Amino acid sequence: MSSNVARLAGFAAALAALFGVGAVAGGVLDPSAPGGEVASGSMGHGDVEMAMPVRGLAVAADGARLVLATPQLRRGHTQQLRFSIVDDNGRAVRSFDIEHTKRMHVIVVRRDLTGFQHLHPTMAADGTWSVPVRIADAGSYRVFADFSRDDKPQTLATDLRVDGAANLRSLPAPATVATSDGGYEVRLAEGAARAGEESHLRFDITKDGRPVAVEPYLGAGGHLVALRDGDLAFLHVHPTGDERSTEFDATFPTTGAYRLFLQFQVDGVVQTVAFTQEVS
C-alpha cells in the first residue's frame, strides 16, 4: 500500500513539473507577438491582445472570410486585384458600412513592410470587389481588407504572391523625419510609445521650410496605418482633432518595432511617408 502511494505521489509531482515547463514554454512561444513583450502589470499577454484594437492576423473572423480570387500577380504589370467577403455559408457579403468615407479599404504591403499601397476597390452586383494594382517588386505580400459591418469594424488578411526573386530589405531604423515623393518633409513631433498605453502621435508637415496646410483626406487630415513587424498585425489608429489635423491616438499592444504609414493630401495629390516606431 505504502509503495503504491509513493508511486502515485511521484507521478503527480512529475505531472506538475511537466505542466510547469509547458506554461513557461507557452509564454515564450506566443505566436501573436514575435520578439515583443507586454508592458509590466497584472494583465497577461492574451488579456492585452484582446483589449487592444489589433486586427488583420486572420483570413476569417466573426462570421466573415476574405477570399482572394487573384492570389498571384505579375510584377510590373497593372492587373485587377479581385476578392470577396463571404459569410459562414459561403455567400458573398454585399452590405457594408461607410467608414472613413469608403465601404472598403484595401492595404497591400510586402512582408518586409515595403511597397505599401492603400486602395479603394469597387464592388460588383455579385459582391466581388476589384481594384487595379501595379506592384513593382517580387515577393510575398499581405492583403488587408478593412471594413465595417453593422457598426463593427473588421480587418481580414491573406497572402499575395508576386512572381520573381525578392530582394528583401531590413526594417529602417527609427527616425523622426521622412520625406514624401512630392518633397514634403514630415516630422514625427510626438511619438513616444509604451506597450498597453494610449500614445499620441503628431505629425508636422512642411515644404521648403514652411508649414503646409493639408486637405481633408478620407474625412480627416490624414490616414495612418500601423503594422507590427513580424506578424504584420494591423492596429486600429484613431484620428483626433478636426478634418485638417494630422494627430492620432494609437495603443500598441506589445513592445517591439512597428511601421507607421501616414497619408495626407495637398493640392489634390495624396502623399505617403513611413516611420519605424519602437515601442517600449
- Read off the DSSP letter of residue 236: -
pTM: 0.82
User: How does pLDDT run across 49-62, given as a tens digit for each residue?
Assistant: 444 568 899 999 99
User: How does pLDDT run across 218-272, given as a tens digit for each residue?
Assistant: 999 999 999 999 999 999 788 998 889 999 999 999 999 999 999 999 999 999 9
Backbone angles phi, psi at 14, to 5 degrees: -65, -40
CB within 8 A of 62, min separation 6: which ones? 152, 154
d(CA 145, CA 173): 28
d(CA 28, CA 22): 10
d(CA 137, CA 234): 22
Which run of H or E residues covers position 148? strand 139-149
Residue 66 is which amino acid?
Answer: L
User: How does pLDDT run across 86-104, given as a tens digit for each residue?
Assistant: 999 999 999 999 999 999 9
What pLDDT score was predicted for residue 39?
Answer: 45
d(CA 72, CA 102): 26
d(CA 255, CA 122): 37
> How many residues belong to the chain?
280
What pLDDT score was predicted for residue 52?
Answer: 54
What pLDDT score was predicted for residue 10?
Answer: 44
The mean predicted confidence, pLDDT, of the chain is 85
d(CA 253, CA 39): 8
Q: How confident is the model at residue 167 (pLDDT cuts 50, 70, 90)?
A: very high
d(CA 252, CA 4): 53
pLDDT at 14 over 60: no
Domains of the chain: residue spans and CATH:
54-162 (2.60.40.1930), 177-279 (2.60.40.10)
